[in-house]
């Protein structure tokens, strides 16, 4: 399990997913990170919980209602099934590059990147053989205000409980699918542009953590609408397309077994969020205050 600290983009999505453009669809009544899915022929309710992938231990808490939802369901479903050995092999490949980063930059650009990376405690030589997209992991690492020894991975904590209780474990997509989405959203130049905004990410990250702890979906919506963090093309690749793909397979999963889905919180909201997409399919999806 120690290698899971290197999830990279799973951790990154705690920055990008939570800050993407959600929509205020329920006048403040949807301030919950746990939702019940029922009706439309489901024999038992399933649940969806929005997550914050990486947190410091001082900020970390899994609410009792989420744990009860896990206990009451038969399967635990994450974005990716981290118990699948083949997926772990693919995850390692996410960090490998076909060509060196320095070979894709002019000498001036390479020098600038090296200066930027110094703010993240590394240099271009150390990361030159990494994939350009894997540099994004540095954003969440720097924005997390605690030592690595105090870092908690939200899904991993839930996963350990699910495995202990012998739940069925599944994923909504493959690592390969996620990598394709990332490649569509972020090239090397846009990655470097994001790294330049490290301090802005730190401030934003802190505000999001507080909103997440308060289950304040509306604050999460207001925190980030500035296109420099996630433009429409990136949002389509990282959120919209993936949400639509997930909602195609979720009905069969829920019909077979009652399930708890754990996904980055911003996948829930907006006109192309999981919640409205499931509602459009005829399911009753409602926020859970207590369970």
Which sequence spans correspond to the domains of the chain? 2-96+131-283
Question: How remote is the C-alpha of 214 from its chain's centroid?
Answer: 18
pLDDT of amino acid 189: 87
What kind and span of H or E run contains 246? helix 241-256
* Euclidean distance between CA atoms 230 and 17, whole angstroms: 9
pLDDT of amino acid 291: 74
CA distances from residue 86 to 50, 181, 205 in whole angstroms, order as listed: 26, 19, 32
pLDDT of amino acid 232: 83
Q: pTM for this one?
A: 0.86
* Euclidean distance between CA atoms 22 and 18, whole angstroms: 9
* Euclidean distance between CA atoms 253 and 74, whole angstroms: 11
* Euclidean distance between CA atoms 197 and 208, whole angstroms: 16
Q: SS3 for 57?
A: coil
Residue 99: how many other CB atoms lie within 10 Å: 11
DSSP annotation string for 88-155: HHHHHHTTB-SS-SGGGS-HHHHHHHHHHHHTTT--HHHHTTB-GGGGGHHHHHHHS-S-GGGEEEHH
Cβ-based burial of 10 (10 A; exposed 0-12, middle 13-18, buried ≥19): buried
- Which residues, 6+ apart, have CB-to-CB distance to 43 below 8 Å? 255, 258
Radius of gyration of the chain, Cα coordinates, nearest whole angstrom? 19
* Euclidean distance between CA atoms 20 and 234, whole angstroms: 10
* Euclidean distance between CA atoms 117 and 194, whole angstroms: 12
DSSP, res 75? E
pLDDT digits (tens), the chain, 291 positions = 444 434 444 444 444 444 444 343 444 457 899 999 999 999 999 999 998 888 899 999 999 999 999 999 999 999 999 999 998 888 777 777 778 899 999 999 999 999 999 988 889 999 898 877 678 778 777 778 788 889 899 999 999 999 999 999 999 999 889 888 888 888 888 888 888 887 787 888 888 888 889 887 767 656 654 566 778 888 888 889 999 999 999 999 999 999 999 998 878 888 888 999 999 999 999 999 887
């Amino acid at each position: 399990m120690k290698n899971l600290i290197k999830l990279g983009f799973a951790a990154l999505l705690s920055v990008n997913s939570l800050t993407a453009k959600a929509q205020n669809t329920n006048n403040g009544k949807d301030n919950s990170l746990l939702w019940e899915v029922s009706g439309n022929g489901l024999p038992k309710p399933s649940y969806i919980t929005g997550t914050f992938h990486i947190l410091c231990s001082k900020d970390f808490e899994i609410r009792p209602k989420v744990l009860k939802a896990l206990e009451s369901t038969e399967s635990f479903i994450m974005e990716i099934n981290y118990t699948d050995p083949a997926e772990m092999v693919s995850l390692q490949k996410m960090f490998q590059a076909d060509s060196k980063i320095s070979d894709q930059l002019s000498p001036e650009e390479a020098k600038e990147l090296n200066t930027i990376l110094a703010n993240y405690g590394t240099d271009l030589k150390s990361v030159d053989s990494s994939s350009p997209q894997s540099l994004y992991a540095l954003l969440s690492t720097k924005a997390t205000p605690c030592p690595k020894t105090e870092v908690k991975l939200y899904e991993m904590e839930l996963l350990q409980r699910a495995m202990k209780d012998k739940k069925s474990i599944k994923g909504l997509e493959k690592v390969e699918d996620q990598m394709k989405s990332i490649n569509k959203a972020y090239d090397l130049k846009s990655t470097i542009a994001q790294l330049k905004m490290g301090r802005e990410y730190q401030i934003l990250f802190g505000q999001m953590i507080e909103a997440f702890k308060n289950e304040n979906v509306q604050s999460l919506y207001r925190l980030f609408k500035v296109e420099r963090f996630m433009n429409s093309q990136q949002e389509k690749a990282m959120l919209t397309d993936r949400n639509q793909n997930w909602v195609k397979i979720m009905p069969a999963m829920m019909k077979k077994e009652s399930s708890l889905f754990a996904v980055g919180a911003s996948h829930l909201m907006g006109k192309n969020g999981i919640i409205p997409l499931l509602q459009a399919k005829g399911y009753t999806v409602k926020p859970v205050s207590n369970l």
